Amino acid sequence: MVTRTPSSGGGTASALEAELRRLAGSVPDPELPVLTLEELGVLRSVHVREGGSVEVELTPTYTACPAVEVMCVDIERVLHEHGVREVSVHKVLSPAWSTDDISDEGRRKLREFGIAPPRGGRPTGPVPIPLGPTRTATPTSAPASTSASMLSPAQPHPSDPVPCPLCGATDTELLSRFSSTACKALRRCLSCREPFDHFKEL
């Protein structure tokens, strides 16, 4: 059970909020239970209000994410189990979630689970929607169809390799732009011939 420890200078509230955030952040993602909500980066903040009520801010991976309601219920359940009587979970859409919000530990877990983590960094400008190619390998030059000015330095180029999480080979091909969930694509390694999911960049 979570309890308050007397402290001066607001330390009690800060320590309590940190503990509640740890508990809320430990909830597994409903669609990717190998990751916690903290590792996925969707948990934004936890605040203790007057009277002991707790407010949690959560940003879905995309606006229509069907898993967000389950996330909210699971957070409420975990905090109730640890003695918090009143819990409210609010969806916050700004700033938007990005795959950059996935922690290093989360990326490691995805890779170990057999899912290629997202590449590169968060886009800062227009995002090109390429129609091809479906196959990626270590590029020798950028395709002329995609202007370099459209990509930020940290943003992955559409032809950047998606390494196979199973054998590490970079020669892979796209089988489907959507896999078991909308945030993942289905790819196949041309070296070990195994299919795998790729957590798409956003």
27-31, 54-58, 125-129, 158-162: segment of lowest average pLDDT = 125-129
Predicted TM-score (pTM) above 0.95: no
- Model pLDDT for residues 106-116, shown as the tens digit of each residue: 999 999 999 99
Q: How does DSSP assign 40-107, residue by residue?
A: HT-EEEEEE-GGG-EEEEE--SSTT-TTHHHHHHHHHHHHHHTT---EEEEE--SSPP-GGGS-HHHH
pLDDT at position 148 over 60: no
- Model pLDDT for residues 29-85, shown as the tens digit of each residue: 999 999 999 999 999 999 999 888 999 999 999 888 889 999 999 999 999 999 999
**At the topology level of CATH, where does 11-97 sit?**
GMP Synthetase; Chain A, domain 3 (3.30.300)
Neighbours of 186 (CB within 10 A): 15
User: What pLDDT score was predicted for residue 50?
Assistant: 87
Q: Are 200 and 155 in contact (CB under 8 A)?
A: no
Domain ranges of the chain: 11-97, 101-121+158-202
Nearest Cα to 117, choosing from 98, 141, 99? 99
